[in-house]
Amino acid sequence: MNARAAVGFEPAVEAIGLRKHFGPIHAVDGIDLAFTPGRIYGLLGPNGSGKTTLIRLLAGLARPSGGEARILGLTMPDRPTLGKVGYMPQAEALYPDLSVGENIGFFAALQGVRGSAAIDRSLDLVELGSRKGAPVLELSGGMRRRLSLAVTLVHEPPVLFLDEPTVGVDPALRVQFWGHFRKLADAGTTILVASHVMDEADRCDELVFVRAGRVIARGTGADLRSTAGTDNLETAFLRFAGLDDAGRPLDAGRGPDPEAAP
């Protein structure tokens, strides 16, 4: 299937036969994707399924063992293009002894953001505006996650890669986050959210199920559910993975058709 023809747009993010091997481990094992601008994609899969590696490849932070990653039509790694990308790593990735303001100010400067308006807007969004002077060392885990998101958004990039962004964030703020992601998407931002939990999946426009470095299914939540014949996304995932409802392997060939129609 030609993704470009299907969506009729130049994809914002593209993976073409993308692979990454760490010795015997095939962390990403031949993935093809094309993301339409202005949509939210959910990258779902268990721990170790290759989500982080895939995002790092897409963001040009790792060199593929094979295939190609493209952002806005440019082959990654490509430094200048990174000005149009926001990457929220799964790790904390903040300077613990610097303050909230100093952390975000540093990355804003690297992204060429001038003045403090964008910084304040970004901090207000994650409700850390009042903690600007606090050292990161004194923040709770959830607050650090929020700061990490603020840092990622500060230069208002058209492409966002968020690796497990809501881990440790309380439910009320989570709802707010998703509201904001939706606003960004409506304004044309392409967003990829990786998660190993399914409870936020329905907020995405499209889901990509990965397992052992391969895409095992993709489509809207509704499509995936109906293809798998279940109301529960988790069960759907297990069926696409060829596992029974308790996570045990089924007999070969009994999984549903992985090429769910978009």
Ligand X SMILES: Nc1ncnc2c1ncn2[C@@H]1O[C@H](COP(=O)(O)OP(=O)(O)O)[C@@H](O)[C@H]1O
Is residue 9 a contact residue for ligand X (CB under 6 A)?
no
Using the contact rule CB under 6 A, the part of the chain among 21-29, 106-114, 178-186, 218-226 near ligand X is 21-29
Nearer to ligand X, 83 or 247 (CB): 247
In whole angstroms, the minimum distance from the beta carbon of 76 to another protein comes to 10
Buried b (16+ CB within 10 A) or exposed e, 219-230: bbbebbbebbeb
By CB under 6 A, name the one of 36, 49, 99, 152 that touches ligand X.
49
CA 95 – CA 93 distance, rounded (Å): 7
Q: Note whether 48 binds ligand X by CB under 6 A.
A: yes
Residue 32 or 124 with smaller CB distance to ligand X: 32
Which of 96, 86, 74 is CA-nearest to residue 10?
74
Give the span between the Cα atoms of 101 and 135, in whole angstroms: 9
User: Considering the complex, what minimum distance in angstroms separates the CB of residue 13 from another protein?
Assistant: 14
CB of 18 to ligand X, least distance (A): 12
Asked whether the beta carbons of 160 and 192 are under 8 A apart, the reply is yes
**Residue with Cβ nearer another protein (18 or 94):** 94
Q: Which does 40 bind (CB under 5 to 8 A by kind): Mg ion, another protein, ligand X, none?
A: none
The item of ligand X, another protein, Mg ion, none sharing an interface with residue 96, based on CB under 5 to 8 Å by kind, is: another protein
Say whether residue 166 binds ligand X (CB under 6 A). Answer: no
- Encoding tokens for residue 51? 């989500």
- DSSP secondary structure letter of residue 93: -
Distance CA 65, CA 57 (A): 10
User: SS3 for 131?
Assistant: helix
- Kindly state the smallest distance separating residue 103's Cβ from ligand X, in Å: 24
Tokens 């399924």 label which residue? Answer: 49
CA distance 219 to 197: 17
Whole-angstrom distance, CA of residue 216 vs CA of residue 211? 7
Helix (H, G, I), strand (E, B) or coil at 160: strand
Scan residues 66-105 and list those touching another protein (CB under 8 A): 77, 79-80, 82-83, 85, 87, 89, 91-96
C-alpha pair distances (Å), 119 with each of 20, 92, 128, 161: 35, 19, 11, 19
By beta-carbon proximity to ligand X, the closer residue of 139 and 191 is 191
Judged by CB under 8 A, does residue 107 bind another protein? yes
- Per CB under 6 A, the list member of 53, 81, 99, 152 interacting with ligand X is 53
Does the footprint of another protein cover residue 59 (CB under 8 A)? Answer: yes
Cβ atoms < 10 Å from Cβ of 167: 13
User: For binding to Mg ion (CB under 5 A), which residues are involved?
Assistant: 51-52, 90
Should residue 24 be labelled a site residue for ligand X when binding is judged by CB under 6 A? no
Residues that bind another protein (CB under 8 A): 56, 59-63, 77, 79-80, 82-83, 85, 87, 89, 91-96, 107, 110-112, 151
